Structure formats: structure tokens, C-alpha cells
């Protein structure tokens, strides 16, 4: 994997671009990955209409006192992928904000779980509200967690 850039895109770099175009520019390295991606060791890898995929590496910096990866990491992955799935459908100069994310944990994630994949798809869309479903999968396709995000569409400058 090439060295990733982290940071926020300049307004001029995203002006006139759809959500899908912005996300593809992040994947291709023309725009930086979000700062949270560096801290939480996950990143966006794929985007399509109403779809986003992330990968993440659980590690010792994510452990809770019980020695498992903190559930907030899984929730943040689901929220990020679900939000980006919604963002992929938005026209230029339109943003979004998460209203709610719910997660169900299916299997323990540890620092030895290995790289995970998160896939999110928009399942409902109106002018103002979108819902997406996401799953966190291990390298064998086993579901580690799954959840739903509700997203508010915000018209106007991001």
C-alpha cells in the first residue's frame, strides 16, 4: 500500500464535485483520507452509487480494559462507511450529518483479528434522510458486527 495522506481537502479541491467524485479522489490519493482514519487505523477503499467499503486494522491502540478492541471502533467504522455510502449519492455542494448509528456486535474483535472489511449500502433515500446498512467482516467473510446509520442530507456549501 502506498503512503496515505491525512487531512482535510481544501474547498477549491472539492468545489463542483459530487460526493462520489470526492470519495473516489480520496481513494485514488488525490485528496487526503480523513484525519480520523489515521487515528483509528481505517480507510475508505471502494465507492459506487450508494455503496462504500472501508478496511481497518485493529491494533493494541484500540483495546479496552478487557483486552478486546473497543466497541466504539466498530461503531465508528459502521458510521463512517454508512455515511460515505450516502455521500456517494449526493450532488455537488451537498453535505450530510449522521443522525443516529446503531450497531450489533456479533463476534469479539481483538488485536489479532487481522484486517477487517466494512461494506455499507444505502437501503432507503428521501430528499432529506437516508438510511444505510453496514457489516464488518473478517478475512473469511464472518460478520463481526452490523449496524444501521441514519443520515441527514444538508443542502448548500459543505
Is residue 6 domain-resident?
Answer: no
- CA 64 to centroid of chain Cα atoms: 21
pTM: 0.93
Of 136, 129, 134, 135, give the one whose Cα is nearest residue 150. Answer: 129
Give per-residue pLDDT as tens, 102-132: 999 999 999 999 999 999 999 999 999 999 9
Residue 34 maps to which CATH number? 3.10.129.10
Determine, yes or no, domain membership for 100: yes
pLDDT in tens, 130-140: 999 999 999 99
Euclidean distance between CA atoms 134 and 82, whole angstroms: 6
In a domain, 2, yes or no: no
- 149: in domain: yes
Q: For residue 12, what are the contacts with CB-CB under 8 A and spacing of at least 6?
A: none
Q: Give domain status of residue 82, yes or no.
A: yes
For residue 144, the enclosing domain spans 11-155
Residue 70 included in any domain: yes
If one counts the domains in the chain, the total is: 1
**Positions in the chain whose pLDDT score sits under 50:** 1
Amino acid at each position: 500500500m502506498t503512503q496515505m495522506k491525512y487531512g482535510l481537502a481544501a474547498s477549491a479541491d472539492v468545489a463542483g464535485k459530487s460526493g462520489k467524485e470526492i470519495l473516489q479522489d480520496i481513494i485514488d490519493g488525490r485528496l487526503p483520507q480523513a484525519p480520523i482514519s489515521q487515528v483509528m487505523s481505517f480507510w475508505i477503499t471502494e465507492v459506487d452509487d450508494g455503496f462504500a467499503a472501508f478496511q481497518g486494522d485493529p491494533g493494541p491502540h484500540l483495546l479496552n480494559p478487557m483486552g478486546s478492541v473497543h466497541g466504539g471502533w466498530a461503531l465508528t467504522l459502521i458510521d463512517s462507511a454508512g455515511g460515505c455510502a450516502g455521500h456517494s449519492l449526493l450532488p455537488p455542494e451537498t453535505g450530510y450529518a449522521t443522525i443516529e448509528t446503531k450497531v450489533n456486535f456479533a463476534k469479539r474483535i481483538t488485536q489479532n483479528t487481522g484486517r477487517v472489511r466494512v461494506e455499507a449500502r444505502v437501503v432507503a433515500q428521501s430528499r432529506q434522510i437516508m438510511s444505510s446498512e453496514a457489516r464488518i467482516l473478517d478475512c473469511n467473510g464472518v460478520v463481526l458486527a452490523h449496524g444501521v446509520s441514519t443520515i441527514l442530507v444538508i443542502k448548500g456549501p459543505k
